[in-house]
Amino acid sequence: MADHLDLHTVGDLLHHYPRRYAERGELTRLSDLPLDEHVTVVAQVADAWVHTFNGGRGRRLEVTITDGSGRLQLVFFGKGVHKPRSELQPGTRAMFAGKVSVFNRKRQLAHPEFKTLGAESGAEAVEAFAHQLLPLYPACKQMESWQIQQAIDTVLGPAGHEEAALAGLIDPLPDSLREGRGLATLPEALRKIHRPATKTDIALARDRLKWDEAFVLQVALARRRRADAQLPAAPRKPVPDGLLTAFDARLPFTLTEGQRRVSEEIFADLATDHPMHRLLQGEVGSGKTMVALRAMLGVVDAGGQAAMLAPTEVLAQQHHRSITEMMGELAEGGMLGGAEQGTKVVLLTGSMGAAARRQALLDLVTGEAGIVIGTHALIEDKVQFHDLGLVVVDEQHRFGVEQRDALRSKGKQPPHLLVMTATPIPRTVAMTVFGDLETSVLDQLPAGRSPIASHVVPAKDKPHFLTRAWERVREEVAAGHQGYVVCPRIGDDAGDEGDASKGAASPSPEDEAEKRPPLAVVEVAEQLTKGPLSDLRVEVLHGRMQPEAKDDVMRRFAAGEVDVLVATTVIEVGVNVPNATAMVIMDADRFGVSQLHQLRGRVGRGSAAGLCLLVTDMPEASPARARLGAVAATLDGFELSRIDLEQRREGDVLGQAQSGVRSSLRVLAVIDDEEVIAAAREEAAAIVADDPELTGYPELRTALDALLDKEREEYLDKG
């Protein structure tokens, strides 16, 4: 149990809640058995026979069961024959659980789990038996649901005496909070979740247990926020008529109202003497980079340096190019032709030549470079800053907490931190995962951004739709525009970088049925150059190319020398080519919802309308097609992130770096329980403000220590 289900103590066991409840009266009748589904049936053994085969070496037990509505065959093989042979005698009544399959045109359960039932007699006993709610626990091969139930029954003791067995439990909720919110006591909640008499019992228990999880987690985050607020930081106030003023004066457009509002929030944070911790969420193309650049320029004005951390070299180079272009001569401080208030903007990546790298490191340590943009190469020990004042992390979900922490430790005192993401995060996830960061949202697109039309292309059902898709790409190119074709894979090796299945939900039954490897960049590019796009300039881009080759392709694509770029998801974040208007995503069902939304944001970045075609072989009624339909139906990233979260396990969305948070959520669902999370956050903030050390709440402290074991404590410290 310890190894497979991570249950080590009695407390762990009591907090291992049922996933759902079966009602015996509502168990599946044998006449209604669905194929390929896990079912539980209550029935009586009609007969049982052992058959031998392979000259008597092999043995097979066949048991026929009936419940009055129909008959069903159970089969057991090999060593698995002994227990059922002795226990399943004709006339025995039992509960059987397994997956329904078909053999010789008859439905059967192979090796079902079973539990014999006592010979209840009398209508009342049968009625009680039929309507008892049976808890079904998250189980594993080594430990079946009813074995877990037996263990819990042992702990709880006889019915009616549970409160005594649960008397010594540590209750994290302060009495005043519990009574004020009308919540059950902890012993009552645990009794009702494991031994409910009615469905109301289950609801009461879950309401209480959700509060425990939400509240303890929010107290941890509130204490983290408070500790951050105590840290010293150098206030960074931009000087009047400095670099920021000069930059704003040369902007060819006005900032959106959202950009102005978020900038004000950031500058207010930067002016304080404790470190800013802010999460900036914004749709693809909402102008986050502009907001971040203005913050960096403000910090340079105030005598500090700013570092921007990007997840890939392609993105770091892209940011460096677009930032130096936006700044013009302001990015050439100290150089001939550079502006008087200018500063140096340097790039630092792992693949730079030794001389360029040495110069970049020198510019950083002397303070000559006010802004540095780089990949995780920025984190290496030998990188020293003159006075690091602000760290901007782009696409946070791709960075481990340790990496953020390593960069922050390079300041003389903690630098301010701005975390940016284009993956819209529902408010509750932000409160749960990034609860120690203040949140700013950019929700309007800058003027001049065009709408993107999205359509699903069912290539298998309607091949002529795919033909038309390639015609549309040719039409866009003929009109002077460019396009992307995105594939889940690079080439021969299915496990390579760019395999979208890593970012997507787990393979669906249709995927399993397909058994076709995902389409690959190299093969698709070849087919297109020989076929439907034969006279166009087609190039490939993927993560296994040399950095110089990648940069060369991107530069030529940006310059309009390439018509169609066939790429993996390396283009997912940050690639900005306003002239690219069409995107065809091959095997779109193999990508996650958020990933598709990110990719789509690469088109429609200029004045011409964007087009995104989602190509799939999935059948019309499949969940994968429904998911693609949802992406095609809305451009609202927040709406899509909700859909994404509802369709996947929350753990995938909460991410690996938040493993401590994820494994602690048992009954709390971050999407459905928005009200509980928001209320718990308020209560937690009030308690921590009143009693930061929780001296008056010893039980809450104990619960907190259990949640924040060593690893999670470190995670929150670094957050």
Q: Write out pLDDT tens, residues 85-118.
A: 999 999 898 878 788 899 888 899 998 888 787 7
Percent of the chain residues past pLDDT 90, beyond the cut: 33
- CA-closest candidate to residue 495, choices 454, 554, 544: 544
pLDDT attached to residue 334: 61
Pull the structure tokens for residue 290.
Answer: 């502009």
pLDDT attached to residue 416: 92
**Alpha-carbon torsion 24, 25, 26, 27, what sign?**
positive
In order of 302, 446, 601, the CA distances from 267 in angstroms are 12, 21, 28
Could you give phi then psi for residue 390, rounded to 5 degrees? -145, 135
Q: What is the DSSP string of 61-81?
A: EEEEEE-SS-EEEEEEEGGGG
**Alpha-carbon torsion 65, 67, 68, 73, what sign?**
negative
Q: Decide which of 657 and 266 is more confident.
A: 266
Mean pLDDT across 515-543: 88
> What is the band of 659 on the pLDDT scale with cuts at 50, 70, 90?
very low
Is the CB of residue 436 less than 8 Å from the CB of residue 228? yes
Is the CB of residue 18 less than 8 Å from the CB of residue 135? yes
User: CB neighbours of 20 closer than 8 A, spacing ≥ 6?
Assistant: 136
Q: What whole-number distance in Å separates Cα of residue 476 and Cα of residue 266?
A: 40
Is the CB of residue 448 less than 8 Å from the CB of residue 253? yes
pLDDT greater than 50 at residue 318: yes
Q: What whole-number distance in Å separates Cα of residue 451 and Cα of residue 124?
A: 66
pLDDT attached to residue 653: 40
CB neighbours of residue 587 within 10 Å: 27
Q: What is the DSSP string of 644-681?
A: HHHHS-HHHHH-GGGHHHHHH-SS--TTTTHHHHHHHH
Q: What whole-number distance in Å separates Cα of residue 691 and Cα of residue 135?
A: 39
The pTM is what? Answer: 0.65
> What is the band of 413 on the pLDDT scale with cuts at 50, 70, 90?
confident
CA atoms within 13 A of residue 116's CA, in its CB half-sphere: 13
pLDDT greater than 70 at residue 53: yes
User: CB neighbours of 329 closer than 8 A, spacing ≥ 6?
Assistant: 337, 338, 339, 342
Mean pLDDT across 199-208: 93
Q: What whole-number distance in Å separates Cα of residue 651 and Cα of residue 413?
A: 34
Counted residue by residue, the chain has a size of 719
User: CB neighbours of 163 closer than 8 A, spacing ≥ 6?
Assistant: 187, 188, 191
- CA-closest candidate to residue 624, choices 650, 647, 655, 601: 647
Mean pLDDT across 509-516: 49
pLDDT attached to residue 162: 80
User: Three-state SS across 630-644?
Assistant: HHHHCCCHHHHHHHH
Torsion of CA 661, 662, 664, 665, to 10 degrees: 120
Q: What whole-number distance in Å separates Cα of residue 516 and Cα of residue 503?
A: 18
Pull the structure tokens for residue 673.
Answer: 């329980």
Is the CB of residue 21 less than 8 Å from the CB of residue 133? yes
- CA-closest candidate to residue 547, choices 316, 328, 376: 316
Q: Decide which of 68 and 566 is more confident.
A: 566
Of 201-210, 601-610, 668-677, the poorest mean pLDDT is in: 668-677
> What is the band of 511 on the pLDDT scale with cuts at 50, 70, 90?
very low
pLDDT attached to residue 620: 81
Torsion of CA 674, 678, 679, 684, to 10 degrees: 140
Which residue type is seen at 211? W
Strands 580-585 vs 610-616: parallel, antiparallel or unpaired: parallel
Maximal C-alpha separation, the chain:
100
Could you give phi then psi for residue 196, rounded to 5 degrees? -70, 140
pLDDT digits (tens, 9 = 90+) for 421-434: 876 677 767 777 67
Q: Which residue has the tokens 């709390």?
A: 668
Pull the structure tokens for residue 71.
Answer: 């008959």
CB neighbours of residue 493 within 10 Å: 12
Could you give phi then psi for residue 92, rounded to 5 degrees? -70, 135
Q: Which residue has the tokens 């002397």?
A: 366
pLDDT greater than 90 at residue 174: yes
Give the burial class of 678: count Cβ atoms within 10 A of its Cβ; 0-12 exposed, 13-18 middle, 19 or more buried.
middle
- CA-closest candidate to residue 202, choices 190, 220, 212, 211: 190
Instruction: Name the most confidently modeled range: 396-410, 456-470, 561-575.
Output: 456-470
pLDDT attached to residue 240: 85
CA 588 to chain centre: 18
Q: What whole-number distance in Å separates Cα of residue 651 and Cα of residue 505?
A: 11
Q: What whole-number distance in Å separates Cα of residue 584 and Cα of residue 606?
A: 18
Q: What whole-number distance in Å separates Cα of residue 287 and Cα of residue 282?
A: 8
Pull the structure tokens for residue 607.
Answer: 């004045």
- Determine if residue 535 is left, alpha or beta; phi over 0 gives left, psi from -120 to 50 gives alpha, anything else beta: alpha
Q: What whole-number distance in Å separates Cα of residue 225 and Cα of residue 223?
A: 5
- CA-closest candidate to residue 387, choices 493, 448, 307: 307
pLDDT greater than 80 at residue 712: no
pLDDT attached to residue 335: 57
Strands 71-77 vs 58-66: parallel, antiparallel or unpaired: antiparallel
Pull the structure tokens for residue 53.
Answer: 């085969």
Percent of the chain residues past pLDDT 70, beyond the cut: 82
pLDDT attached to residue 400: 53
